[in-house]
């Protein structure tokens, strides 16, 4: 399953600002949210709707609605929370969970420190969020945890991805659709995406 790359001139424009090291915390955070919203639209274009009758100021009519309870957004802490605002603008009543992982700087392996997801996760369309798909370790680990909880329908959204991370995620979880706004050149020796945009968490929260 090939990753879905969100190609659009306006997305490219936002990415150009996002990547710039001179872009400040406020603008960086807003851009992450905006691009995430567009990714959400693309990822959920197959959302199922049900027909209900409502009354407009003019007349009764039948409309199509999404059952928002059928969706769960799961950001990988901490950077994934920067994407959450964009998604809840699309589906404000979706359920939200959190998975806390950090990368061991020596081994580059993810270490779990927090895990809480909505009940009936096995019945929901699950959307996992992380701005960067670099080595793929955190995404693989988070999705493995969700599958162990019974989740079956999982999609992964990221802003920037590396070929290495995409390959590893597809090898371990070939059933998970990947949505990204850019596939970059490679990983460097420290496991960072090149050219990338630096550490997304630090730039979202202004911690460096």
DSSP letters, 138-183, are HHHHHHHHHHHTT--EEEEEESEE-HHHHHHHHHH-TTSEEEES-B
Is 29 one of the annotated active-site residues of the chain? no
pLDDT mean over 163-188: 97
Is 70 one of the annotated active-site residues of the chain? no
Distance, in Å, from the CA atom of 165 to the CA atom of 172, rounded to the nearest integer, reads: 11
Percent of the chain with pLDDT over 90: 88
At residue 82, the pLDDT reads 95
Active site residue: 69, 70, 85, 199, which one? 199
Q: Which domains does the chain have, with CATH numbers?
A: 4-205 (3.40.50.2020)
Cis peptide preceding 98, ω within 30 of 0? no
At residue 174, the pLDDT reads 97
Spatial contact of 116 and 98, defined as CB atoms under 8 Å apart = yes
Residue 107 — pLDDT band, cuts 50, 70, 90?
A: confident
Neighbours of 59 (CB within 10 A): 6
CA distances from 134 to 58, 124, 138, 150, 176 (A): 52, 26, 9, 26, 16
Is 203 one of the annotated active-site residues of the chain? no
Active site residue: 107, 141, 144, 180, which one? 107
Q: What is the mean pLDDT of the chain?
A: 94
**Closest of 158, 102, 163 to residue 131, by C-alpha:** 158
**Structure token pair of residue 202:** 């630090």
At residue 180, the pLDDT reads 98
At residue 191, the pLDDT reads 87
Active site residue: 12, 120, 122, 202, which one? 202
Distance, in Å, from the CA atom of 74 to the CA atom of 118, rounded to the nearest integer, reads: 9
**For the ranges 108-117, 136-145, 157-166, 183-192, which has the lowest average pLDDT?**
108-117
pLDDT mean over 6-14: 95
Q: Is the pLDDT of residue 190 over 90?
A: no
pLDDT mean over 49-70: 96
**Closest of 153, 156, 109 to residue 129, by C-alpha:** 156
Residue 111 — pLDDT band, cuts 50, 70, 90?
A: confident
Kindly tell me the burial class for residue 45, based on how many C-beta atoms sit within 10 Å of its own C-beta (0-12, 13-18, 19 or more).
exposed
Is 19 one of the annotated active-site residues of the chain? no
pLDDT mean over 35-57: 96
At residue 52, the pLDDT reads 95
Active site residue: 29, 103, 175, 184, which one? 103
At residue 203, the pLDDT reads 93
């Amino acid at each position: 399953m090939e990753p879905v790359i969100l190609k659009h001139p306006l997305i490219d424009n936002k990415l150009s600002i996002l990547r710039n090291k001179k872009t400040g915390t406020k603008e960086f955070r807003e851009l992450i949210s905006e691009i995430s919203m567009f990714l959400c639209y693309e990822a959920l274009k197959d959302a199922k709707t049900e027909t209900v009758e409502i009354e407009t100021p003019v007349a009764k009519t039948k409309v199509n609605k999404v059952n928002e309870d059928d969706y769960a957004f799961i950001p990988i802490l901490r950077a994934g929370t920067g994407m959450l605002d964009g998604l809840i603008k699309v589906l404000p009543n979706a359920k939200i969970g959190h998975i806390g992982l950090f990368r061991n700087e020596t081994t580059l392996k993810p270490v779990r420190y927090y895990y809480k997801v909505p009940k009936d996760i096995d019945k929901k369309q699950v959307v996992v969020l992380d701005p960067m798909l670099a080595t793929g370790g955190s995404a693989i680990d988070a999705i493995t945890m969700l599958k162990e909880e019974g989740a079956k329908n999982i999609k992964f959204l990221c802003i920037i991805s590396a070929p290495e991370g995409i390959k590893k995620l597809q090898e371990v979880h070939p059933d998970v659709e990947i949505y990204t706004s850019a596939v970059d050149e490679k990983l460097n020796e420290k496991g960072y995406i090149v050219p990338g945009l630096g550490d997304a968490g630090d730039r979202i929260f202004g911690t460096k």
